[in-house]
Every structure is written in structure tokens, then in C-alpha cells.
Amino acid sequence: MRVFVFALGAHEDHAIKILSSSGVTTEDKVVVLVTKPISPEVRKAYNSLKEFTSKMGVKKLELIEVPSDLSQGILSIVNAFSDNSEYIVGISEDAGYLVILTFIALILSGRNALMHLCIESSELSEGILIPKPLIKVLQNPLKEGEVRVLQEIVKNPGISDEELAYVIGKKLKTIKSIIASLRNLGLVIRKGRRRGIYSTELGKVIAEVMKP
């Protein structure tokens, strides 16, 4: 089952385009996030979207009114990402505070999603896949020692554990622990006969961003 999650503003057109282009089926679920209290304009957009999903035979339609309180708002949206379904997210530019709260909730949930940012003046944007490793990094920011090791790996592709320990000046046991953490986050890999350590593309980006 796929779950479509829409942060809805006063216009339902983009949500309908996403559902149509994705080939929504009767097995899919649609969750609509709206600001609380719901305005007449947003209510009208929701009713139009509801009518469309009904015509498409969608049986599971859920409306979530999201409060503006940061904590309560995020918690109410996190519930929309509560299982291991395939998620497709559409965020309208006129959805107010739902734009940032939906993104934060998605990160905190640890789910992958195909995300559409709906700009009123443009055609339907291509979906941007938010990779799980990036979500993990956002959930678990790197410590200073991890950043140092990652940057050294980027500078010296294929470096060994022992060489890293020597260059950085830490015990081998500590280096192995840091490497295990970086591998778990999808930032480095081991390969080759020497089992050297290499940075992934995401690792290179993180290392560059974290430069002092």
C-alpha cells in the first residue's frame, strides 16, 4: 500500500496532479494535512480533493487538522508516517507552517518518501527522493571526532584503520568504533582486497558542508 500525504493549502490542483500521475488506486491511502482551525478556502480545496479521491475509488482518506504549536503540530503529523508503507508527499507552497512541520516530521519518522514541492507558478515538479542515510544523519548529527575521521577518509580514499589511527592520533579501537558508526549512517564503505575505507557520495557532501 502507498500512502499519499498532502500538506494542503487553498489549492488542490497539485495534489490531484500527483494522484493522477502516480496512478492512485483503491488500495492506496490519502492523508490530508491542513492548518487548524481550517479556513473556508482550505475546506473548499479539501472537499474538491475528497470528491476526486471518491471518483478514483480511494477508500482510505484521512483529514488531520494540525495545530500551530510546534510540538503538538509535529506529533500530529508524525502519526501520518507511522508504518513502513511507501510514502509520496506533496507540499503546497501556500500551506503555511505545514511546509516546515511536514518536513521535520518526515525526518523524525525516519521514513523514505518521494517528495513533491508544489510551486503554484510551475508545472508539477519531479519527485525528490529523500534517502534514508540523509535522514539518519539529520536525526543523528555527527560528533566532532566523526567529522574529522570522515574528512580524512575523503582526502585519502582507501585508507586503512591503522593509517587513520596514526594520522588522527587516536586509539585503533576508537577509530574502528567511529568507522562502524559512519558505515551505519551510509557515509563510508569498505571495499577492495585491503578492505580500505572509502567515502560515499553523501559522505563527501557531509564532509564538505562540515568544513570549519
Per-residue pLDDT band at 15 (split at 50, 70, 90):
very high
Rounded average pLDDT over 90-116 = 87
| Residue 194 · residue 161 · CB < 8 Å | no
pTM for the model stands at: 0.72
Phi and psi for 33 in degrees, rounded to 5?
-100, 130
Shared-domain flag, residues 72 and 11: yes
Question: How many other β-carbons are positioned within 10 Å of the β-carbon of residue 59?
Answer: 11
Tally the domains of the chain.
2
Mean pLDDT, the chain, whole residue set: 90
Shared-domain flag, residues 164 and 93: no
Sequence-separated (6 or more) residues with CB below 8 Å from residue 22: 2, 4, 88
The percent of residues above 90 in pLDDT, for the chain, comes to: 65
36/124: higher pLDDT: 36
Interval 76-89: pLDDT, tens: 999 899 888 999 99
Which residue in this structure is represented by grid cell 519531479?
Answer: 126
Rounded average pLDDT over 131-159 = 89
Burial of 10 (0-12, 13-18, 19+ CB in 10 A): middle
Per-residue pLDDT band at 124 (split at 50, 70, 90):
very low
Per-residue pLDDT band at 120 (split at 50, 70, 90):
low
Rounded average pLDDT over 135-148 = 88
R_g over Cα of the chain: 21
Domain boundary among 100, 130, 160: 130
Q: Which domain holds residue 106?
A: 2-130
CA dihedral 117, 60, 71, 9 (to 10 degrees): 40
